[in-house]
A and B are shown apart, each in its own frame.
Chain A
Amino acid sequence: MSVAPAKPSWTARTREAAVAALPPEKLLPDSQPTYVASWIYIFGVASIASLMVIIGSGVILSLKGPAWWHDTSIGHFFNSIHLWAVELFFFAMVVHLWGKYWMAAWRGGRTRVWITGAVTFLVAVPTALTGYVSQQNFDAQWIATQAKDGLNSVGVGAFFNVTNFGQMYSYHVLLLPVAVSALVVAHVLLVRRHGVVPPFPLAAEWPRAGESENAKTPGLTGVEGVSSDADGASS
């Protein structure tokens, strides 16, 4: 009597799909293509680092509640760290974005990397807004009474009320940070999967003196020697 082979479980299938997409050496490589050699490349990790400081300081602020920073110097200290980390986050994100645009980093099947990055930036904006209207000070009063008009005009104000502190605090402390973090995780996993975008291939527009326009284009094969695996995207 023969036994039919068992169907793979959902768990096994999930694991196998995850490992196939991102084997450990691709998830956490200890080398990068030699073209990853510019200070512009640090702004992605700087954005992530800023987000971690925002979340860390935010956790401390939420441990003590929204009134704490008005009442104590140490509370105000952590609020200041939170605010400056937000400024650093947007600073790093925008410089990262500029770099990635001029590198056309969506090339080579990396469209979703660009899309997740762009959406992260766009979701970070209302995340900051909900923070500003949760400050419970004059700035919060003014921003809330102004922002409501823009949101009401497109109907969003019907279910997202910037003058409702309770709702805004919930969005700011939980819902939107989870959204931003999930988008950042997706973005980074996609970068790991596809690798850092290679340089534009050097074409005939950059011939060396005396070289014909039909010379073999350098840059595609890069430095001779160490080869990557089949798809080359193992960074």
Chain B
Amino acid sequence: MSLVGRLRSHDDTQSWQGGYAPYDLVKELVIAVGVITLLAVLFTVLFSSPDDKPSTIAQWSREMPANFVTAAAKELSGTSATAEYGPPYNHNGEGQHAAFLYPQKWLGVSHPINTSNDFVIGPLKTVPDDPSLHSALAQYQSAPEKTQKAWGEAYAKPLEEYETALEEKKAPPKTVSVDSSTGVVSVQAPGAGPVPIMMSGLLDLAKSGGLDGTLLTSRQFFQTDYTKPLLFMSDGGLLAERAEAQHLLGSQWGMMNETGSYPGQAWLWLYTLWYQVEPFKASANADILVMLVMGVLSLAFICIPFIPGIRSLPRRIPIHRLIWREHYRSAGESQPDA
């Protein structure tokens, strides 16, 4: 048999020539709407729905000041995840690829973000009546790029050691201290130039709530695009800490889950499963690889009627005999005796 012949299914389905029975479709729909409404109301009364309050940069900076300052330093020096993300935010990375496919790069930078200016310098410029801060800003902006980089690295190093010590539950280095009552972060970083003053100023702005506001409305008063504050927060540890507690991390199959003990998006089970297995698990291109696999499977799902083997499985595994048992029984009874 040719390939086309194999793709064309042997469809022996014929038009129904048999009997009909009364069936009230409209009544069925009305009953269905009634039942579904009742079920939805019942579940609402029994379980309600989750509504965990969103995190703010103000909360993040108050609850985890060292983590905030570490993230802010990375934004300034351009070494944060957002800074190095690539398209659609910037050109500082190529993004993910699969073989010769670079769609992330090809679609370009549609939402430009310069983390140093947008997350740090720009907001700091809005702080009024702080001559030492403005002098530090001026010093930073007038320095050559190489000097800015050196200052940033000098400041970031003790903070990274501090974060690593906390993660590994070891004693933190003495170069970083956090005053638990005031939330002031002190970093001993000789050679960091004006960066400590800038970071301290940004921390104060964040704690006051001003950073949440200025990141949102920097371009215009009316705003519905939360990309900047969300990306800045996701470069820190607060969202991930809350997510881990709620079993929402990728490694916890979090894509399927909901906050609390509510059922989540169970239909994403296959999508999240790929991330748990190799080669996706350890790959830097996991997202595009999983999306491609799911794209192919979705196309296959749509095209089931054309796929030999898959389309003939229902005939071979006769669940249909249970579904249509009454029909087969009455058809058998109506057969004339051989």
Contacts and interface: CB of A to CB of B under 8 A. Distances in A.
* Touch A–B, Cβ below 8 Å: yes
Interface of A: 28-38, 40, 42, 45-46, 48-50, 52-53, 57, 69-70, 76-77, 79-81, 83-85, 87-88, 90, 94, 99, 101-104, 106-109, 111, 114-115, 118-119, 122, 125, 128, 132, 135-142, 144-146, 149-150, 152-159, 161, 163-167, 169, 195, 197-202, 206, 208, 210-212, 215-216, 218-228, 231-233, 235
A208 B332 contact: yes
Contact of A223 (B104, B267, B290, B331): B331
Contacts of B332: 202, 208, 218
A17 to B, nearest CB: 21
Interface string B247-291: 010100011001100010111100000000000000001011011
A149 B35 contact: no
B18 A163 contact: no
A215 B14 CA distance: 18
Given A42-B32, A80-B49, A200-B320, A166 B224 contact: yes
Nearest to B321: A206
Interface in B83-113: 85, 87-88, 95-96, 103-104, 106-108, 110-111
Contacts of B35: 46, 49
Contacts, number: 321
B39 A199 contact: no
B51 A69 contact: yes
A101 B20 contact: no
Contacts of A122: 298, 301-302
A138 B259 contact: yes
B225 interface: yes
Interface residues of B, number: 104
Contacts of A156: 107
Contacts of B258: 139
A56 B334 CA distance: 47
7 contacts: A37-B327, A46-B32, A102-B319, A106-B305, A138-B259, A165-B225, A222-B19
Nearest to A111: B305
B338 interface: yes
B220 interface: no
A45 to B, nearest CB: 5
Contacts of A102: 314, 317, 319-320, 323
Contact of A141 (B20, B233, B311, B335): B233
B95 A153 contact: yes
B80 to A, nearest CB: 13
Nearest to B32: A49
Given A80-B48, A102-B317, A102-B319, A145 B331 contact: no
A202 B20 contact: no
Given A34-B18, A219-B331, A224-B334, 16 more contacts: A36-B23, A38-B323, A50-B36, A53-B36, A84-B47, A87-B43, A122-B301, A139-B259, A152-B87, A153-B103, A155-B107, A158-B88, A198-B16, A227-B17, A228-B18, A228-B20
